[in-house]
Amino acid sequence: MLATVREGWGRSQADLARATGLSPAAVSGIVARLVARGEVSCTTEVSRGRRVRVVSAAAGSEVFAGVDIGRSHARLLVGDGSGRVLEEREQPLAPGHRPTTTLATVRDQLEEMVAGSAGGRVLRAIGVGLPGPLDREHGAVVGGTILPGWVGVPVTTALAPLAADVRVENDANLGALASAAQTGARDLVHVKAGSGLGAGLVVGGRLHPGAGGLAGELGHVAVSDAASAPMCRCGRRGCLETYASTEVLARTLSTVLDRRVPLSRVVAMGASADPIVRRVFDDSAEAVGRGLGILCTLLDPGLVVLGGPLAGLGHRWLQPVRAGFARSALPAVVSHTSIQLSPLGERAEALGALQLARTSVVAAAD
């Protein structure tokens, strides 16, 4: 129950009963015990003219950290048990950064942040987001990631001196956790579109990592089987990511504009009025929409939340994604699927990592 409160599936006792399958009376009894232990607090709010008892996780005596490691930066959050962010930092990382150096930087930064913001409280758990497929047993990324130098590196071991619990999760899955908490949706797809293209799936109120942790590898869905289709970093041809990552956009823009477009400029160019540049971005976004059409026709999530740097382009990117989706998905799926930009922006994955840290401790204690 405490994990459900911390995950943010429900705010009222009625929501909690729906999320856990328990009766309202049982929920009421458990909440009363959690209030007595100082684990949650209850307030009364008025919603649509009705009084609703809202349950929130307490700040507690421990702090938690969420870390999102990407190709060009790491975002670090320290928060309390209620989910309130106490401190946040963004650390730029050099292209091709190595795990030894980056993890040492993450350790130093977290130590500083906890010393500065936690008021003497202990760092209890760390959630870490990494791009690409994961080996959960060893807390490491496997082949197909945008961080090839990190394959097989046990991130959990490297951060273990800082906290009793270290959990590693795919970054798009963490974005999905944060989106589910933010929207209250029990079924959704969260897309992270940037250097890579990944999706996190929430099904029936739970993250769906898949049997091998590979669910949601949207970027590696084959959208072309032509012999001339571009090669993907996974070793196959025609993957969606070869049409729709910032790296591919940089290459395509460099070709059509006949000048080198650096990766760091790609997202900013998405706001250009140049019709050639617009076409490159529109084609790429439509390809993402077509991939989502395949995914949603199979999964019927009802809600797709778009995050990552490319979603930062706003409606200019959203509209062609919707157009590609409308062409690709079953019409009945199109009519009841909402495709939205994430209001959490590029913080979604780090917020999900913080949430993973907070809930993993409770889940381990249950």
Footprint of Zn ion on this chain (CB under 5 A)?
A: 220, 232, 234, 239
Minimum CB distance to Zn ion smaller for 210 or for 343: 210
- The phi and psi torsions of 163 (rounded to 5 degrees) equal -155, 155
User: CA 327, CA 325: separation in Å to the nearest integer?
Assistant: 5
* Residue listed under structure tokens 């079953």: 330
Using alpha carbons, list the distances in angstroms from residue 326 to 65, 215, 231, 282.
39, 23, 27, 14
Quote the least distance from Cβ 241 to Zn ion, whole Å: 6
| Contact between residue 97 and residue 63 where contact means Cβ atoms under 8 Å apart | no
Closest CA to 64 of 139, 144, 128: 128
User: CA 281, CA 230: separation in Å to the nearest integer?
Assistant: 17
User: CA 174, CA 52: separation in Å to the nearest integer?
Assistant: 29
Quote the least distance from Cβ 234 to Zn ion, whole Å: 3
| Contact between residue 116 and residue 122 where contact means Cβ atoms under 8 Å apart | no
Minimum CB distance to Zn ion smaller for 200 or for 238: 238
- The two beta strands, 85-92 and 73-80, are antiparallel
What does DSSP assign to residue 366?
-
Quote the least distance from Cβ 239 to Zn ion, whole Å: 3
CA angle (304, 308, 314) in 5-degree steps: 75
Quote the least distance from Cβ 232 to Zn ion, whole Å: 3
CA angle (249, 253, 257) in 5-degree steps: 180
Minimum CB distance to Zn ion smaller for 222 or for 263: 222
Minimum CB distance to Zn ion smaller for 57 or for 232: 232
Minimum CB distance to Zn ion smaller for 49 or for 235: 235
Measured distance between the N- and C-terminal CA atoms of the chain, rounded to whole angstroms: 9
Quote the least distance from Cβ 217 to Zn ion, whole Å: 8
Reading phi first (left if > 0) and then psi (alpha if -120 to 50, else beta), residue 21 is in left
Minimum CB distance to Zn ion smaller for 290 or for 347: 290
- Both tokens of 63, joined, read 């702090």
Quote the least distance from Cβ 46 to Zn ion, whole Å: 51
Closest CA to 171 of 285, 308, 362: 308
Quote the least distance from Cβ 325 to Zn ion, whole Å: 21
Minimum CB distance to Zn ion smaller for 18 or for 251: 251
Quote the least distance from Cβ 291 to Zn ion, whole Å: 12
Run of H or E residues at 178:
helix 171-183
Minimum CB distance to Zn ion smaller for 123 or for 239: 239
CB-facing half-sphere around the CA of 109: CA atoms within 13 A: 21
Quote the least distance from Cβ 130 to Zn ion, whole Å: 17
Minimum CB distance to Zn ion smaller for 81 or for 219: 219
Quote the least distance from Cβ 52 to Zn ion, whole Å: 46
User: CA 280, CA 302: separation in Å to the nearest integer?
Assistant: 28
Minimum CB distance to Zn ion smaller for 26 or for 234: 234
- The phi and psi torsions of 257 (rounded to 5 degrees) equal -95, -10
Helix (H, G, I), strand (E, B) or coil at 76: strand
